[in-house]
């Protein structure tokens, strides 16, 4: 029944997406298309996730979503976001360090820092500053599509001279209109009391749907939302990061970032042999204690021979892996799960499954990368998918490692136009970056709901099935008896406390009587 409801819900969303596209075409594109960038219009027609983000941000009211799309696309063309590069922003803005991306909050959302004391209101530079913010947002949107941001206004040592209400309103519009579903929360740290009136105005701009995302905290409470490892010392953290330019800070992936995402060439791979040797040894030891040669599985091409060996044990590899329940509809591959790779919190729940389905008429090559290659084993990490078929990718967590919300996985895919199965390494060398499609997944730890007796049960030695069941039954009975005994003891203690209370009352009354009797017998 639940599956039927989910299927109907997906159909309704698809209808809404199609209705939005058709109405936008009829109502906004009939007069002129010059007010929009054709590349944005193409994305609107081909990317379901983009249209759905506008719809969901406007509670699936098509009229409201259309207004938002119109305003957003016009802004994108006005600021030339599809062509906006670092050199188009004045260098001095980067050098100030007033705005940058760095670190994650406790929920795994990227932190977008605004150091308010470094901002001074100036009408001459207002447009450049807006482009500066747009540059950072667009840079992140391309690298982490669909992933929300947490905005941090660090107002330490700031004053009235640093408040620019027009600039603040622009930042809010970026998240309210231009980048739907981008804002996770907005944390305002150490706001001076003199600015209370200004932020009351800001609240009115946010609207009711975003008020709950606003968090005002003193620096002593910043650790509530951000761990010490990503919080600077002046806010009570231990993060040694110091902004400097150039280069731009970029800690999303531990690999070089190209225009189309992280790219590692074969030459780069050869130069990193010594650096990766210890990591490879760890990954190889995951399967056996004695290994002749380390096997590379993360961020490197697997050999075709190794992939052939994997085909015979697919069912064994996927056994125990957590199955995805959501799907991202892509132009080359459907990716399940859509956004989050879930792991259980128990020792036996350290596998998760990624399912790639080829929706084209040609072979599609893919490879999977992660920000934490020392923690995860991806199998297969590189292969190709036949038209209409699916590939199961098992992501396993190494023993002793813990899943972090900051961990990310990148799936890269490219269509193989030529017939046959060319060498994958050669294919990835030659394929143009513009033909590579990327999809990112973040990690999520599911909290296991365990019965009260599970800690005892897990600590029992492994025995035969029947013996273990009998032992579990005995333990359950003991727990029940213990619970009853505890209840009786608590009842006895309660009665004892009542009796003690009554005795104390009687003693006090007796003392009062003696006192009154003594005073009445004294001569007047």
Flag whether pLDDT at 373 surpasses 60: yes
Most confident residue range from 140-154, 287-301, 437-451: 140-154
Q: Is the peptide bond before 380 cis (omega within 30 degrees of 0)?
A: yes
Mean pLDDT of 210-226: 85
Query: By mean pLDDT, which of 210-214, 343-347, 431-435, 446-450 is the weakest?
Result: 446-450
Looking at residue 280, its pLDDT comes to: 42
Q: What band does 270 get if pLDDT is binned at 50, 70 and 90? A: very low
Residue 75: strand, helix, or coil = helix
Looking at residue 416, its pLDDT comes to: 86
Fold of 84-235: Phosphatidylinositol Transfer Protein Sec14p (3.40.525)
Most confident residue range from 18-32, 99-113, 251-265, 280-294: 99-113
Q: What band does 231 get if pLDDT is binned at 50, 70 and 90? A: very high
Report whether 101 contacts 140 (CB < 8 A). Answer: yes
Flag whether pLDDT at 485 surpasses 90: no
Looking at residue 200, its pLDDT comes to: 72
Flag whether pLDDT at 423 surpasses 70: yes
Alpha carbon distance 279, 259 (integer Å): 27
Q: Which of 257, 259, 299, 291 is nearest to 275 (CA)?
A: 299
Looking at residue 522, its pLDDT comes to: 59
Alpha carbon distance 50, 409 (integer Å): 20
Determine the Cα angle at 174 with ends 173 and 177, to 5°. Answer: 65
What are 191's two structure tokens? 């706001």
**Residue 112: which residues within 8 A CB-CB, separation 6 or more?**
99, 101, 136, 137, 140, 149, 150, 151, 152
Flag whether pLDDT at 97 surpasses 50: yes
Q: How many other CB atoms are found less than 10 A from the CB of residue 159?
A: 12
Determine the Cα angle at 495 with ends 489 and 499, to 5°. Answer: 140
Looking at residue 301, its pLDDT comes to: 39
Looking at residue 285, its pLDDT comes to: 34
Alpha carbon distance 216, 354 (integer Å): 39
pTM above 0.85, yes or no: no
What does DSSP assign to residue 476?
H
Mean pLDDT of 389-398: 88
Predicted confidence (pLDDT) per residue in 290-317, tens digit: 333 333 334 333 433 444 444 445 555 5
* The CATH homologous superfamily of the domain defined by 328-445: Immunoglobulins (2.60.40.10)
Q: Which of 280, 255, 263 is nearest to 367 (CA)?
A: 263
Phi then psi dihedrals of residue 362, to 5 deg: -125, 170
Q: What band does 324 get if pLDDT is binned at 50, 70 and 90? A: confident
- Higher pLDDT among residues 204 and 100, named by residue: 100
Looking at residue 457, its pLDDT comes to: 41
Report whether 82 contacts 37 (CB < 8 A). Answer: yes
Q: Mark 127-156 as b/e (b = at least 16 C-beta within 10 Å).
A: eebbbbbbbbbbbbbebbebbbbbbbbbbe
Residue 47: strand, helix, or coil = coil
* H, E, C per residue of 399-421: CCCCCCCCCEEEEEEEEECCCCC
Predicted confidence (pLDDT) per residue in 80-95, tens digit: 988 888 888 888 888 8
Report whether 194 contacts 161 (CB < 8 A). Answer: no
Is residue 387 exposed (0-12), middle (13-18) or buried (19+ Cβ within 10 Å)?
Answer: exposed
- Higher pLDDT among residues 470 and 36, named by residue: 36
Flag whether pLDDT at 355 surpasses 80: yes
Domain boundaries, the chain: 9-82, 84-235, 328-445
Residue 397: strand, helix, or coil = strand
pLDDT, averaged across the chain: 74
Question: Fold identical between 84-235 and 328-445?
Answer: no
Residue 478: strand, helix, or coil = helix
- Higher pLDDT among residues 210 and 421, named by residue: 210
Alpha carbon distance 101, 243 (integer Å): 10
Q: What band does 165 get if pLDDT is binned at 50, 70 and 90? A: confident
């Amino acid at each position: 029944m639940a599956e039927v409801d989910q299927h109907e819900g997906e159909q309704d969303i698809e209808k809404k997406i199609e209705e939005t596209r058709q109405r936008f075409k009829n109502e906004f594109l009939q007069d002129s298309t010059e007010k929009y960038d054709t590349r944005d219009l193409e994305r609107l027609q081909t990317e379901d996730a983009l249209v759905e983000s506008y719809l969901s941000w406007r509670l699936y009211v098509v009229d409201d979503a259309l207004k938002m799309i119109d305003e957003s696309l016009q802004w994108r063309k006005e600021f030339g976001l599809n062509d906006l590069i670092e050199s188009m922003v004045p260098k001095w803005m980067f050098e100030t360090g007033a705005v940058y991306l760095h670190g994650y909050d406790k929920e795994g959302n990227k932190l977008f820092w605004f150091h308010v004391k470094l901002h001074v209101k100036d009408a001459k530079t207002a447009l450049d500053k807006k482009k500066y913010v747009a540059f950072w947002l667009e840079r992140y949107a391309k690298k982490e599509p669909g992933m929300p941001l947490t905005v941090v206004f660090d107002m330490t040592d700031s004053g009235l001279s640093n408040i620019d209400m027009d600039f603040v309103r622009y930042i809010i519009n970026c998240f309210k209109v231009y980048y739907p579903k981008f804002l996770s929360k907005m944390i305002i740290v150490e706001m001076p009391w003199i600015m209370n009136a200004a932020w009351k105005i800001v609240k009115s701009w946010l609207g009711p749907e975003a008020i709950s995302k606003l968090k005002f905290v003193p620096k002593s409470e910043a650790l509530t939302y951000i761990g010490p490892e990503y919080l600077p010392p002046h806010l009570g953290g231990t993060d040694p990061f110091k902004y400097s330019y150039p280069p731009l800070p970029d800690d999303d992936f531990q690999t070089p970032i190209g225009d189309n995402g992280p790219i590692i060439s074969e030459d780069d791979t050869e130069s990193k042999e010594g650096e990766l040797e210890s990591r490879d040894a760890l990954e190889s030891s995951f399967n056996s204690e004695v290994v002749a040669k380390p096997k590379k599985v993360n961020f490197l091409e697997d050999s075709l021979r190794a992939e052939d060996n994997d085909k015979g044990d697919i069912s064994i590899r996927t056994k125990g892996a957590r199955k995805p329940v959501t799907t991202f509809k892509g132009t080359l591959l459907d990716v399940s799960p859509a956004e989050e790779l879930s792991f259980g919190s128990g020792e036996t729940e350290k596998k998760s499954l990624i399912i790639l389905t080829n929706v084209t008429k040609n072979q599609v090559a893919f490879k999977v990368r992660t920000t934490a290659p020392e923690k995860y084993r991806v199998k297969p990490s590189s292969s190709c998918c036949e038209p209409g078929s699916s590939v199961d990718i098992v992501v396993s967590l190494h023993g002793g490692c813990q899943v972090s919300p900051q961990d990310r996985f990148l799936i890269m895919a490219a269509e193989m136009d030529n017939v046959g199965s060319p060498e994958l390494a050669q294919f990835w060398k030659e394929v143009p970056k513009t033909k590579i499609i990327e999809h990112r997944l973040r990690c999520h730890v599911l909290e296991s709901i365990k019965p009260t007796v599970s800690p005892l049960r897990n600590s029992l030695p492994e025995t035969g099935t029947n013996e273990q069941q009998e032992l579990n039954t005995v333990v359950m009975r003991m727990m029940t008896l213990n619970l009853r005994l505890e209840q009786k003891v608590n009842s006895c203690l309660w009665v004892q406390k009542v009796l003690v209370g009554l005795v104390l009352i009687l003693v006090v009354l007796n003392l009062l009587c003696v006192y009154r009797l003594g005073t009445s017998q004294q001569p007047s």
